């Protein structure tokens, strides 16, 4: 990924690969980040609106490959499952291993 330098990594308990495409101004993105932090899990995210240069095209292409509507947040779990929007129960279930 050429946008690696824009990815923020939050430490915590490893419950699988949790990666989010977010916007810096999105309230639902903030709520999702707060939930993951409260749950104490490790996750990474990229604020798509803050990515610059050639990396912008790559991050948008990655986002649309997972979510053609490009809505936020787009949460990718273990590189396969995708949760669109702030879906608290789905996120909690994933973290619990359900």
Per residue in 34-85, pLDDT (tens digit) is: 999 999 999 999 999 999 999 999 999 999 999 999 999 999 999 999 999 9
The pLDDT value recorded for residue 25 is 97
In the predicted structure, residue 1 carries a pLDDT above the cut 80: no
| Nearest-angstrom CA–CA distance, 35 and 68 | 25
Could you tell me the fold of the domain covering 4-93?
Answer: Glutaredoxin (3.40.30)
Q: H or E stretch including 22?
A: strand 18-22
The pLDDT value recorded for residue 98 is 66
pTM above 0.75, yes or no: yes
Question: What are the φ and ψ backbone dihedral angles of 80, each rounded to 5 degrees?
Answer: -135, -50
The pLDDT value recorded for residue 47 is 98
The pLDDT value recorded for residue 50 is 97
| Nearest-angstrom CA–CA distance, 60 and 74 | 12
Report domain extents, the chain: 4-93
Measured CA distances, 64 to 58, 60, 89, 96 (Å): 10, 6, 24, 28
């Amino acid at each position: 990924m050429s946008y690696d330098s824009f990815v923020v990594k939050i430490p915590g308990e490893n419950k699988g690969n949790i990666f989010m495409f977010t916007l810096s101004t999105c309230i639902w993105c903030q709520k999702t980040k707060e939930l993951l932090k409260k749950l104490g899990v490790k996750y990474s995210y990229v604020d798509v609106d803050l990515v610059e240069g050639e990396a912008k095209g790559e991050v948008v292409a990655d986002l649309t490959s997972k979510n053609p509507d490009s809505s936020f947040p787009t949460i990718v779990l273990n590189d396969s499952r995708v949760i669109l929007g702030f879906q608290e129960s789905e996120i909690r279930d994933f973290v619990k291993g359900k």
